């Protein structure tokens, strides 16, 4: 076995954290009073942490509500004990992770306990006469709880995965939980008020009930979203069966556009919309007769007009779905060209919607890197050169540069070779194909579809 300094350091750090946490726990045991109340709170915390793992990946949630309540109900020391009790329920993980998670929970609770005590937060019935103090101290405690939690987790993450792991953690976990955490502080305080008001352990039901129902609704939301994505993909696959050569094209365009979108740092909503637009850009092909799509050789003008209708057909089809408006404009304009020679509207330059410019690039890229019956697939490098060559005539030059950068750094898994299932099928020409100068597909006249 090779000796890895990082693993050893990681183990040392975890061991050290565990020792400090254990010390804090022992001190808390000595300090805490009211064993019956603490036991009741431990029970609620255990229930809360077992509920936590039902869905959502967030580590801190229901338990932090209970913890904040403990500061007010039974004092800071009790909170450390409750945190330790709560960490008995954890998702299965390697032993070292379990130890570290328990230790960091105890330590963050202890740090928050110190903050609560330092600010003179009220304990017990005092809370009824000192609401402003309670509000300040509980808010401070929940902030400290989260900050220490974030610091400890990023410490081990930096040892385990390096600094990029920490960045990920801050972007995805800390940023999204910062605001809810303040809300949970308030909720913890209301739990404490109702507990001390005489309800005791039943206060837990009042707090956890609505949270669980909300959680259920959010899981349904997630399920509906996944169902929608899956349904759209299945449907796109059906449309692609019309054309023997474009299998997987829409999903790859969606993926490529997604890569570029992340590079351009779009907001989550727009990123999602861009990926939808990539998936759906050719959906209107369902309205183009299969005989034209599969026709061998060049298309005559009437047939080309039928092809040029597909963006408008696509918008007609998805028009009712409450997507961002940008999805629809991208589907409509993904065959526009930067010099104004595209269809359906002959838009030029920045007049072409942003998403349509993105889809146009990825669309052409995927077409060129895929096999067509009349030509083999091009290599990624060769294709990127073609894109760069056409960067002013066909595409937005800045977006082409960005796309080339993304593909050269992130790489690209091109379409697998697809042989027509039936050898008698003859060459049909892809309307997206750039490699075929005029008369093929890509560079038609700027005329819109003839009605």
Is 190 among the residues that bind other proteins (CB under 8 A)? yes
Q: CA separation (Å) from 203 to 9, 75, 79, 109?
A: 43, 17, 17, 21
- Contact in structure between 43 and 200 (CB atoms under 8 Å): no
Residues 8, 13, 18: CA angle, nearest 5 degrees: 125
Q: Rule CB under 8 A: which of 209-228 touch other proteins?
A: 209-211, 213-218, 220-221, 224-228
Q: For helices 325-333 and 310-318, what crossing angle results, to 10°?
A: 160
Is 88 among the residues that bind other proteins (CB under 8 A)? no
Binding mask 133-152 for other proteins (x = CB under 8 A): --x-----------------
The nearer residue to other proteins, 151 or 321, going by C-beta atoms, is: 321
- Contact in structure between 71 and 137 (CB atoms under 8 Å): yes
Given 35, 296, 319, 376, the residue binding other proteins (CB under 8 A): 319
Q: CA separation (Å) from 206 to 75, 96, 159, 191, 233?
A: 21, 35, 41, 8, 42
- Contact in structure between 336 and 307 (CB atoms under 8 Å): no
Is 29 among the residues that bind other proteins (CB under 8 A)? no
Given 158, 200, 373, 443, the residue binding other proteins (CB under 8 A): 200
Near other proteins by CB under 8 A, which window of 99-107, 248-256, 282-290, 389-397? Answer: 282-290
Per-residue H/E/C for 346-389: CCCHHHCCHHHHHHHHHHHHHHHCCCECCECCCCHHHHHHHHHH
Is 96 among the residues that bind other proteins (CB under 8 A)? no
- Contact in structure between 319 and 328 (CB atoms under 8 Å): yes
The nearer residue to other proteins, 84 or 127, going by C-beta atoms, is: 127
Binding mask 290-309 for other proteins (x = CB under 8 A): xx------------------
Structure-token pair, residue 168: 């990920």
Is 128 among the residues that bind other proteins (CB under 8 A)? yes
Q: In degrees rounded to 5, what are phi and psi of residue 76? A: -60, -40
> Minimum Å distance from CB 294 to other proteins?
10
Cα 317 to the center of its chain, rounded Å: 27
> Minimum Å distance from CB 347 to other proteins?
24
Given 20, 186, 264, 348, the residue binding other proteins (CB under 8 A): 186
Given 133, 316, 339, 401, the residue binding other proteins (CB under 8 A): 316
Is 71 among the residues that bind other proteins (CB under 8 A)? no
Residue with tokens 């697998």: 416
Residues at the contact surface with other proteins, assessed by CB under 8 A: 125, 128, 131, 135, 183-184, 186-187, 189-190, 193-194, 196-200, 202, 205-207, 209-211, 213-218, 220-221, 224-228, 230-235, 237-239, 241-242, 283-284, 286-287, 289-291, 313, 316-323
């Amino acid at each position: 076995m090779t000796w890895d300094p990082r693993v050893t350091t990681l183990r040392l750090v975890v061991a050290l954290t565990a020792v400090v946490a254990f010390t804090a726990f022992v001190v808390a045991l000595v300090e805490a009073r009211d064993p019956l109340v603490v036991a009741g709170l431990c029970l609620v915390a255990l229930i809360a942490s077992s509920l936590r793992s039902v869905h959502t990946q967030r580590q801190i949630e229901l338990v932090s509500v209970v913890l904040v309540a403990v500061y007010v109900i039974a004092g800071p020391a009790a909170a450390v004990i409750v945190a330790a009790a709560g960490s008995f329920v954890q998702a299965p993980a390697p032993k070292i992770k379990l130890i570290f998670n328990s230790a960091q929970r105890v330590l963050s609770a202890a740090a928050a306990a110190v903050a609560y005590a330092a600010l003179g937060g009220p304990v017990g019935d005092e809370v009824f006469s000192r609401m402003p103090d309670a509000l300040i101290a509980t808010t401070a405690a929940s902030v400290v709880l989260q900050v220490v939690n974030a610091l400890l987790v990023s410490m081990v993450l930096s040892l385990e995965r390096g600094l990029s792991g920490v960045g990920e953690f801050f972007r995805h976990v800390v940023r999204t939980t910062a605001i809810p955490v303040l809300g949970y502080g308030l909720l913890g305080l209301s739990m404490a008020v109702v507990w001390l008001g005489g309800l005791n352990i039943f206060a837990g039901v009042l707090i956890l009930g609505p949270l669980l129902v909300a959680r259920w609704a959010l899981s349904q939301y997630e399920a509906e979203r996944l169902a929608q994505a899956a349904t759209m993909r299945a449907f796109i696959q059906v449309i692609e069966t019309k054309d023997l050569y474009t299998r997987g094209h829409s999903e790859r365009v969606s993926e490529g556009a997604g890569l570029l979108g992340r590079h351009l740092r779009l907001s989550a909503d727009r990123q999602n919309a861009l990926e939808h637009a990539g998936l759906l850009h050719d959906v209107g092909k369902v309205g183009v007769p299969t005989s034209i799509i599969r026709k061998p050789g060049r298309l005559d003008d009437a047939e080309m007009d039928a092809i040029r209708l597909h963006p408008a057909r696509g918008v007609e089809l998805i028009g009712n779905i409450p997507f961002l408006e940008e999805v629809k404009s991208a589907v409509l304009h993904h065959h526009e060209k930067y010099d104004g020679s595209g269809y359906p509207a002959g838009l030029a330059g920045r007049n072409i919607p942003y998403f349509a410019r993105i889809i146009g690039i990825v669309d052409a890229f995927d077409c060129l890197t895929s096999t067509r019956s009349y030509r083999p697939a091009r290599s990624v490098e060769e294709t990127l050169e073609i894109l760069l060559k056409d960067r002013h005539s066909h595409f937005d030059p800045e977006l082409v540069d960005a796309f080339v950068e993304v593909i050269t750094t992130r790489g690209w898994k091109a379409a697998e070779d697809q042989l027509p299932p039936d050898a008698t099928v003859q060459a049909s020409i892809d309307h997206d194909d750039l490699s075929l100068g005029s008369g093929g597909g890509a560079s038609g006249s700027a005329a819109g579809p003839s009605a």
